[in-house]
Amino acid sequence: MCGRYTSRFTDKHKLPASLGPIPGFEPRYNIAPQQQAPVLRMLDGNPSFGELRWGFQPSWLKDRNKAQINARAETLFSKPMFKRSALQRRCLVLASGWYEWRQEQRGKQPYLFHLEADPLFAFAGIWTSGQADDGDNYAIITTEANPQAAKIHKRMPVVLTESGCQEWLEEGRDARSLAVLLRPYPANDLCTYPVSTYVNSPRHTDQACIRPL
């Protein structure tokens, strides 16, 4: 799964230039469920940048506690809750790393995953409209972990390649052509290191969250 992540904008990023410039935003070092975070999606045929709430909650789902922060790639196009958005409302969740926890002798140890060469990348996401006073919201797509990530957790978010970002946002694509994009990111391009349990609290949002232990 993916339950916390980071998002830091710099002037170097791997999102396709055809999606337009990404406006600068404040660095986020510990994004937690139910918080607003930056995404890129297509609205009226054009790329649109904005902040949506993390937690997939269609308007018919009244209980926010039942909002889903992740959607499994394997069932994305068959599960009724996600199918419509997977076909019609896809987004790029702008990220620069994510956290996972592994049970060790002294307790659960958090680790930060990131791509060393790319300070900003994108998770595959889907979005929906919530209740009238609640705004739009999103979920991050997860897949099975690659061998590197599997040492910490059996699942990982879908990290899209540069071409994959473009394809994921293309309108009118069918489930089969989209599903091939939802694969584990290559293990040799992924870096990880342990961080302090300081990150365990969503109240902690400063740069200390990503400091190597």
How far is the C-alpha of 35 from the C-alpha of 9, rounded, in Å?
A: 18
How far is the C-alpha of 191 from the C-alpha of 58, rounded, in Å?
A: 35
Sheet-wide strand order for 191-194: 28-31, 5-7, 97-104, 107-114, 191-194
> What is the identity of the amino acid at 140?
I
- 100 is a catalytic site residue: yes
- 74 is a catalytic site residue: no
- Sign of the torsion formed by the C-alpha atoms of 71, 170, 31 and 161: positive
From 51, 74, 91, 100, active-site residue: 100
From 2, 91, 165, 209, active-site residue: 2
Look up tokens 């791509």; give the residue. Answer: 115
Catalytic center residues: 2, 100
